[in-house]
């Protein structure tokens, strides 16, 4: 799938969260959404990214923004991650990576000389109507929130 750009319509999704509840893009209608994709719960980079989002929830809420994270992890693992770090926002399970593909956040990666398919750490700021305001592919964990804030100011 081609990468998305600001102005594109955010692809619809319906996934299970860490509580086992179905969550869809439509659930966020009328609010801005910081949606980010991360490779694996409770790993160093993903923990840093999730905790940065958690720590920014109050100022984001003041700007009318809520947040959700998506990874291939099963809801049970997402729940442990949420509990361990007291994240307090939806962590969505995309085990077949269909949503990641729709957002252009699934693709070829390499580590230690090996090439494989996986999540490309990405973030999207989506407006109240479902239009994408800001896109960051290959985003550094610590840059997810600042990149979104640049658009909000």
Domains of the chain: 14-152 (3.40.30.10)
Contact 136, 143 (CB under 8 A): yes
**Are the C-beta atoms of 136 and 105 separated by less than 8 Å?**
no
- Beta partners for residue 16, in sequence order: 22, 93
d(CA 19, CA 32): 22
Residues with a catalytic annotation lie at 46
Q: Specify the pTM.
A: 0.95
pLDDT below 70 — which residues of the chain? 1
Q: What is the pLDDT of residue 1?
A: 56
Other Cβ atoms closer than 10 A to 53: 24
Q: Would you state the structure tokens that stand for residue 113, as one six-digit string?
A: 């000389």
CA angle, 153 then 146 then 99, to 5° = 105
Query: Residue 21: its pLDDT value, please?
Result: 97
């Amino acid at each position: 799938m081609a990468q998305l750009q600001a102005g594109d319509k955010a692809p619809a999704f319906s996934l299970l969260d860490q509580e086992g509840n179905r969550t869809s893009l439509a659930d966020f209608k009328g609010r801005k959404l910081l949606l980010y994709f991360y490779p694996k719960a409770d790993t160093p980079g993903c923990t840093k990214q999730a905790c940065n989002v958690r720590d920014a929830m109050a100022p984001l809420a003041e700007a009318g923004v809520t947040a959700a994270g998506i990874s291939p992890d099963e809801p049970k693992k997402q729940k442990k991650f949420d509990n361990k770090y007291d994240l307090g926002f939806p962590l969505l399970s995309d085990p077949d990576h269909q949503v990641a593909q729709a957002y252009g956040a699934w693709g070829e990666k390499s580590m230690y000389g090996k090439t494989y398919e996986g999540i490309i750490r990405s973030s999207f700021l989506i407006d109240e109507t479902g239009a994408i305001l800001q896109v960051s592919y290959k985003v550094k964990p610590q840059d997810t929130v600042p990149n979104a804030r640049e658009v909000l100011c």
